[in-house]
Chain A
Amino acid sequence: MQQSAVIAWGLRLASLRLTLAALTLLAVDVLLTYRAEVRASWPLALPLALLSVNLIAAVLTNPTFRRQGALLAFHLALIAIVLLIAIGQLTYLRGHVELSRGETFGGELTQSERGPWHFGSLAQVSFANEGFTIDYSPGMQRNDTRNIVSWNEAGTRRSAVIGDQEPLVLHGYRFYTSFNKGFAPLFIWRPSNGRAVRGTVHLPSYPINEFRQAQEWTPPGTALKLWVMLDLDKRPFDKTKPWRFRAPEQHSLVVREGERRWTLKPGAELALSQGVLFYEGLTTWMGYKVFYDWTLPWLLAACVVAIGSMAWHFWRKYAAGPWDP
């Protein structure tokens, strides 16, 4: 009696009408998610879970799947895709980090979001930004980005050029160059009491913020509120000609503290109340997009199995009969 009730439930759950209802629900949820101000993946979880249950029940109860191996493989691969996406949502990491030329990434991201089960090894990841070039066509049309990066691998220093299609992959973390890049004044801050610190201040992304090349900044270990602005003698590019992104040689740096204002050239020093600020020169910074999802190769494999088995199933079905009725 109990066994027949289980079978009856299994058949209900395996119903193709339920498949239709779940597909409709998924389509509606996709539309709602698309139109929502804040995108979230959880509204899609219910129809996907329903489709998975429906598929599993169909595989268990529908004898067609036992007769047709390719159809079974297709539907099992679909279940695998849904499960892998769900696991990916629990273990992913997405983030952003900015590195000046010569700076080494030490595992800290500027901003990030991650799944609750993300226990990756980002702290072990280390690489240095060795500088980049970006060529622009007339009209300031951006072309290829070529960023040299270096890292240690088994005691050997290795380097590579990454860019628009080529991320750096270390410990499963993928680092992508982005359109977000700019100029960075390089300072040495010598506090009155303590050790000198060398570092950069990242100005807003260039050339998109061409007329807002200023940033507020506090030297480490102080309460000073400095404002620095890049003052270019002339625009570094001509919109009608090709241009290569590089730090301009002819420039000065405006530094302001409250009502006081100074103009610095590379190599100049500035004595402030809590230390001395030495301006070394202008360099560049690159914004990297960081992505981690260990399910990617498995997802691809599941997709290949799904589509391959579906194609094989229909090929066998339709190759048997004539196409010209």
Chain B
Amino acid sequence: MTQPYPELSWLWAALIAYVAAGSLAIIAVVMNKRPERTLLVLMLAGLALHTVSIALRWTRLGHGPFITLFEILSSNIWSLMLIFSIAYWRVRTLRPAASVVMPILFIMMGWLLVSSPGEGHLPPTYHTVWLYIHIGLGKVFLGSVLVAVGIAGLILLRTAGLARNRLGALPADERLEDLAFRFMILGFVFESLMLVAGAIWAQDAWGRYWAWDPLETWAFLTWLVLAFFLHLRVTMKLPPRAASWSILVVFVLAFLTFFGVPFISTAAHKGAV
């Protein structure tokens, strides 16, 4: 008897590796340990298994993970893990941020576990290279903001007096906040590119580059809020704690735009519905 979804066993294995990495990251921060190499290996192992899972499904269905809630969650967990792993590998200072980022990904993984792995139909408007460009840019945007959230989380945890030994060894809040805003600016550039690529795609697919559909509106609002906080930081010289909260606000808005709006809207730009 053949398994209807052969890619699932690879996905479950990947999730186990991610959960192990996340749990280890939390324990390490609490216990003031630094199993950084083990953690990186676990994240990369999870990513490798996850890549096989996505590739198997892509080959089986003949299209990428763009249609159903299951596919969108799976591909975003993969891209967020990939971007965070690169940041984790390249910027040592933010490594304790894994203890903040991984629990956020756990929520998405839990959501993925209760989603149906059933198949969806790839609409004809998705047969374009702009699909890959638009979605790819969006994934880099969300990944950059997630890294910034991880750093902002460290500032807020330290302010709350948690895990003092490990977090106390980190650079001053001002330095961390500057690092977090570098990732926010990276996110701002990629969100701008995502909006432009989406407008080009919309012009070809639906004969208009902008129509204020729910996803367009909320993506633009996220861009505006991000622009607002970037200006606020310059104007008001925000203290690190307030700046950290502003990063969380942008992330929540972006998260709801990515994973909330497409599943409650029935408009033309409806994502997975």
Contact = CB atoms under 8 A, between A and B. Distances in A.
Contact of B171 (A27, A166, A176, A325): A325
B93 A324 contact: yes
B224 A165 contact: no
Interface residues of B, number: 44
Contact of B189 (A299, A314, A325): A314
A118 to B, nearest CB: 16
Contacts of B178: 325
Contacts of A176: 206-207
Contacts of A139: 121
B95 to A, nearest CB: 10
A303 B182 CA distance: 22
B217 A34 contact: yes
Contact of B179 (A144, A314, A323): A323
B102 to A, nearest CB: 21
Interface stretch (A13-21, A206-214, A265-273): A13-21
Given A164-B127, A314-B185, A324-B92, A23 B205 contact: no
Contacts of B123: 142
**Majority SS at the chain B contact face:** helix
A73 interface: no
Interface in A279-299: 289-291, 296, 299
Given A325-B171, A325-B176, A296 B224 contact: no
A17 B224 contact: no
A306 interface: yes
Nearest to B232: A20
A67 interface: no
A167 interface: yes
B175 A325 contact: yes
A200 interface: no
A323 B90 contact: yes
A296 B209 contact: yes
A289 B207 CA distance: 7
Interface of B: 90-93, 121, 123-125, 127-128, 171, 175-176, 178-179, 182, 185-186, 188-189, 192-193, 196, 200, 203-209, 212, 214, 217, 220-221, 224-225, 227-228, 231-232, 234-235
Given A34-B217, A314-B185, 12 more contacts: A16-B231, A16-B235, A20-B232, A24-B228, A27-B228, A30-B217, A142-B124, A165-B127, A165-B205, A310-B189, A325-B175, A325-B178
